[in-house]
Amino acid sequence: MGILFQIARGGTFVAIVAAFSLALVKPEDTHSGIGPPVLPDNLLAIPRPAPAPAQPSEVKFSADADAYGQFWIMGTANGVTFRFLADTGASDVSFSKRDARRLGIDITRLSFTGRASTANGLVRTAETRVARLSVGPFAVTDFPVSINEGELDFPLLGMTFLQRMHVGINNGTLTLTSKP
């Protein structure tokens, strides 16, 4: 090191370092036998990101239309079984006051300040939540639902639930497919 430093001060450092480097290179380490060493191929590889983890397989559920073209799907809310009407025209998952009682909801504590336009006209609604809502293989927890003050013979499976998956209708079959 002391010798290189002294040589560098004399202005010939670069030439001596280059000569010294060439003396260390063996002919089998180069393409032509002369020149800089050739790096192994694995050192020249461009780093690539790790492959993405495998995606879970998609979940599908199908229901056939009834004679009127409606799709009825069995499900549960708070452990109570219901026959839902899949309704892409309904904003919410909606239950009647009678169904709310079955769910364990105290309807006297609800505030019916919302409004919904239905086939039977304008009705008042109250917002609440169910601990768990399951339809086919799909389940959500602490899910918002509305309680309909009007006449509702069956619960509606509206868009707040359906928008969580891909919805397709083909040849009288409704298919719900999980989103990634």
Question: Does the predicted model carry a pTM greater than 0.75?
Answer: no
Rounded to whole angstroms, how far apart are CA atoms 88 and 93?
10
Fold classification of 60-178 (topology level): Cathepsin D, subunit A; domain 1 (2.40.70)
Cβ proximity of 177 and 56 under 8 Å:
no
- pLDDT tens for residues 33-67? 565 555 555 544 555 666 666 566 789 999 999 99
Retrieve residue 136's tokens. 């086919």
Q: How would you write the pLDDT of the chain (180 residues) with one tens digit per residue?
A: 444 444 444 544 444 444 444 444 454 544 555 655 555 555 445 556 666 665 667 899 999 999 999 999 999 999 999 999 999 999 999 999 999 999 999 999 999 999 998 887 899 999 999 999 999 999 999 999 999 998 889 999 999 999 999 999 999 999 999 988
Rounded to whole angstroms, how far apart are CA atoms 174 and 126?
29
Percent of residues, the chain, with pLDDT higher than 90:
62
Instruction: Give the residue carrying structure tokens 């002919």.
Output: 27
Helices (H), 25-112: 41-44, 97-102
CATH 2.40.70.10 domain range(s) in the chain? 60-178
